[in-house]
Amino acid sequence: MPTSLMCRTGWNAVWRVTPCSADFRSRRPHSVIAQRHEGFRAREIAGAWCLGDWSGTLLRRAIQIPVKERSQVRRILKWAAWILLAVVAITVVLWLVSRYRGPSATQTAALALMQDRAPLPPGENAFPAIWLLDYDVPREQLQAVAEADVAQSSVTVTPAGDGLVVESQRAALTGFEQQRPSREDAQLFCNGGDIDCLARVRADLGAYEGLIARHRGLLDRVAALQDYGYYRSPPSAQSHAMLPPLEPAGYELTRVAWQFANGDVDGALAGACNGVQTWRRLGANSDALLMRSVADGYTDRYIRLLAGMLKEVGPTHELPTSCATAFAAPTVADASLCEAMRGEFVVSTHHIRQLVTDPETITGKIPAPSPKTLVWDPDKSLGILAEGHSWACSESTASNLVNDVRVDPGQNRQSLWRLECVANPSGCILADIAFPAYYNYQWKAQDHAARLELMGALLWLRTNATADEPLEPQLMAYWQHRRGNRELRLADDGRTVALQLYADGPEKWWSLPFFPAAE
């Protein structure tokens, strides 16, 4: 196949090719003359390489740019530059408007709502007692020692850069005996709502008698929590202060089960009702979601233990007076997250303000937005947080709680393509991630109130049932007059009653056994 010789010339040249009989593979240079054509300047070039017709054609088309076409390219580039400049200008204007625009009317109202703390309930704050639960601190010193310990204690990252977190020395606790159970003893205590604590204790009464004797001081401090009226965490404390040692607070359940198994029926019944009353009150009057969740869990465990004990106690056995208070009709506070969400907002406000004034004290090795950067605005972030939390304290939510209707926060994830996010995308993204996680806490709180109500119905049935009628229809008739339309089902051939749950999770029903009723 014939080939052509293509010679390399200046930019403004048009290529003329002549046949080339040289061997293409040899790549030997040849001399050709590039001729002048249609006003283009040509020059003589030596040392051209022999290429195929196809490659020469492509290369000619790639570098042959007439004056008219070059003018069009310049015009396109100029328009592109103007468009880019306009985009930059619009972005700057939007950023300035977003940054210096005040909070919306909705956010202003939400900020006022979340900052409007309810009056403190009667009684003392349980935080110092729970924070120092592992230590034998006299009650009259709890407040002062807890304040000093929270102020001094901190968590730091090890210098080795391995990411491990260690606690600082707790100088305020010097001189006070630590009474934390060993790992082996901690595993003996009943933990988890799915454990039949009564059966577990009965399996080895001697071992549990020794366990309770070794930790009597700790268990007495747990039982003394019934004397407190509410739980308020220190708003200026660091994040680790929001995580008090709550696991030992559940150990008293084991002692109550041991009392019943050991024959102290009245003491055990009183202990179970006191446990329900204590954790019901602390949960409803807590300003921390963690405390609210743990308190509801402990209440559930005491209810199950009490129901198990009542299966073995005749209906004529009189219950302690504390049981009537423990299972009084639920109030809005039993199902509400308002104070807990306000507490979370107070803590968030403190940390955001601290990020602005002294970021090194709380960031450490944890990535956090730099104060007042191009992509994060602390004031706007607080407005977004308040708006996203305010549903918990709204009138519509309170109305749903009164009627036991599953709360719908009504806040679908908003688009990030909104004006307030132009100068604060970090705040919008973090809020978008966090908000949905709170909804299930609300549904769990509603389930907690319904559990109390179901146990109250069973206790009513225990003393008011008609002897010549089956228990199931009497319970269903009583349940129909309650608030809401939460469903009840009979299970295990009528031996248990199951309650419909609102919370998302694998368990959709919560059940209690029927226990003997009046004859």
Helix (H), strand (E), coil (C) string for 38-90: CCECCCCCEEEEEECHHHHHHHHHHHCCCHHHHHHHHHHHHHHHHHHHHHHHH
Beta-bridged to residue 156, according to DSSP, are 166
Q: What is the pLDDT of residue 95?
A: 75
Say which amino acid occupies 44.
E
Q: What backbone phi and psi angles, to 5 degrees, belong to 225?
A: -65, -15
Please tell me the predicted confidence (pLDDT) of residue 226: 96
Residue pair 296/444 in contact by the 8 Å Cβ criterion = yes
- Cβ-based neighbours of 509, under 8 Å, separated by 6 or more: 489, 491, 498, 499, 500, 501
Tell me if 426 sits within 8 A of 376, measured CB to CB.
yes
Note the pLDDT of residue 49: 39
Query: Which residue has tokens 């040509």?
Result: 42
Per DSSP, the three-state class of 155 is strand
Rounded to 5°, angle at Cα 453 from 450 and 459? 145
Q: What is the pTM of this model?
A: 0.78
> How crowded is residue 415: how many other Cβ atoms within 10 Å of its Cβ?
9
pLDDT at 63: 54
Q: What DSSP designation does 235 have?
A: T
The distance of Cα 383 from the centroid of its chain, to the nearest Å, equals: 19
The H or E element containing residue 456 is: helix 425-464
pLDDT at res. 46: 38
Instruction: Render each residue's pLDDT in the chain as its tens digit; 519 residues.
Output: 444 434 444 444 444 444 444 443 444 444 443 444 444 344 433 344 344 454 555 445 545 566 667 788 888 888 888 899 888 888 788 778 767 777 888 889 999 999 988 889 999 999 999 999 999 999 999 999 999 988 876 655 444 444 444 455 678 888 899 999 999 999 999 987 667 999 999 999 999 999 999 999 999 999 999 999 999 988 666 665 567 889 999 999 999 999 999 999 999 999 999 999 999 999 999 999 999 999 999 999 999 999 999 999 988 899 999 999 999 999 999 999 999 999 989 888 887 877 776 655 544 434 445 555 777 788 888 888 898 889 999 999 999 999 999 998 876 556 667 777 887 788 788 777 777 788 999 999 999 999 999 999 999 999 888 878 888 888 888 888 887 788 999 888 888 999 999 999 899 999 999 887 765
d(CA 22, CA 18): 12
Euclidean distance between CA atoms 153 and 243, whole angstroms:
13
Q: How far is CA 421 from CA 64, 93, 375, in A?
A: 49, 14, 9
Q: What is the DSSP letter of 240?
A: G
List, in sequence order, every beta strand (DSSP E) within 355-491. Answer: 488-491
> Is the distance from CB of 129 to CB of 224 less than 8 angstroms?
yes
**Which pLDDT does position 207 carry in this prediction?**
96
* pLDDT for the residue 56: 54
Contact 254, 189 (CB under 8 A): yes
Q: So what's the pLDDT on residue 158?
A: 47
Q: Which of 298, 306, 296, 224 is nearest to 270 (CA)?
A: 306
- Residue 507 contacts residue 499 (beta carbons within 8 Å): no
Q: Tell me which H or E stretch contains 97.
A: helix 67-100
CA end-to-end span of the chain: 114
In the β-sheet with 30-31, what is the strand arrangement from edge to edge?
A: 18-20, 3-6, 46-51, 30-31
Q: Phi/psi at 232 (nearest 5 deg)?
A: -130, 115
